[in-house]
Every structure is written in structure tokens, then in C-alpha cells.
């Protein structure tokens, strides 16, 4: 079988789907079952050694949810390298902060639709 992800990423993605964060749950409520403009999203999808929080395979759009820990220097570098890798595979990565989902989910959903339509 020709996999485009590591065995470890596959195992971790399954665990993440079973133990999603509250913020992931909120966004998944709107994305699942083509709930946002009939766009098909999947969650916790392994790509290489990474796991995409949410992905639309049709347009190669990845949504990453970031908490405050992503502002720390080591995480900023990790996220930059991760995004560069995913971009090199043809994916567009958009980052959304958890507090944006908590405070204004409608703006987040509009932003996702805008980014989707650009592709």
C-alpha cells in the first residue's frame, strides 16, 4: 500500500478524532456532513508526519486551529515548517485561533468560505 503518511501519524489521528478539543467540536459541528456550503471536510487527517485538523481534499484546503501555545517561539517555528511542507504538497493552510471560534463563529465560517472560493 502506498501511504502518504507515517504509521505513527495514522495512529495519532485516530486518537485525536476520539478526543477532540471543545473548540474542534464546535467547528466540526458546522463542517461535518457538508454542513458549510456543501463543502466536504474530514477531520484529523494524516499527511506525512503531520495531522491536519480539518481538510477539504477537493480544494486541498487545510484548516488548523491554534491555541495560545502556538504563539511560543518553538511552536511558531514548528508551525512554519509544517505549513511549508504542506504547501509544497499543494495544500493551502489557513490558521484560526481558538478564541475566534469561541467569540465569533460566524466570521470564522465566512472566512473559511472565502478561502475555499479562492481556490
β-pair type (92-97, 61-66): parallel
Q: What is the mean pLDDT of residues 4-25?
A: 68
Secondary structure tally for the chain: helices H, strands E: 5, 4
Q: Whole-model pTM? A: 0.85
40 pLDDT more than 90: yes
pLDDT one-digit tens code per residue, 44-77 = 999 988 999 999 999 999 999 998 665 566 778 9
Q: Do residues 42 and 14 make contact, with C-beta atoms less than 8 angstroms apart?
A: no
What CATH code would you report for 7-118?
3.40.960.10
Rounded CA-CA distance 99/103 in Å is 6
Rounded CA-CA distance 54/73 in Å is 24
Amino acid at each position: 500500500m502506498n501511504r502518504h503518511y507515517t504509521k505513527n501519524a495514522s495512529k495519532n489521528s485516530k486518537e485525536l478524532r476520539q478526543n477532540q478539543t471543545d473548540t474542534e467540536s464546535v467547528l466540526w459541528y458546522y463542517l461535518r456532513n457538508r454542513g458549510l456550503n456543501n463543502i466536504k471536510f474530514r477531520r484529523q487527517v494524516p499527511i506525512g508526519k503531520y495531522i491536519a485538523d480539518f481538510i477539504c481534499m477537493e480544494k486541498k484546503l487545510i484548516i488548523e486551529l491554534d491555541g495560545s501555545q502556538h504563539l511560543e517561539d518553538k511552536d511558531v517555528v514548528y508551525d512554519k515548517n509544517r505549513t511549508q511542507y504542506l504547501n509544497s504538497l499543494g495544500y493551502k493552510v489557513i490558521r484560526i485561533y481558538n478564541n475566534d471560534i469561541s467569540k465569533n463563529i460566524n466570521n470564522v465560517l465566512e472566512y473559511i468560505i472565502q478561502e475555499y472560493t479562492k481556490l
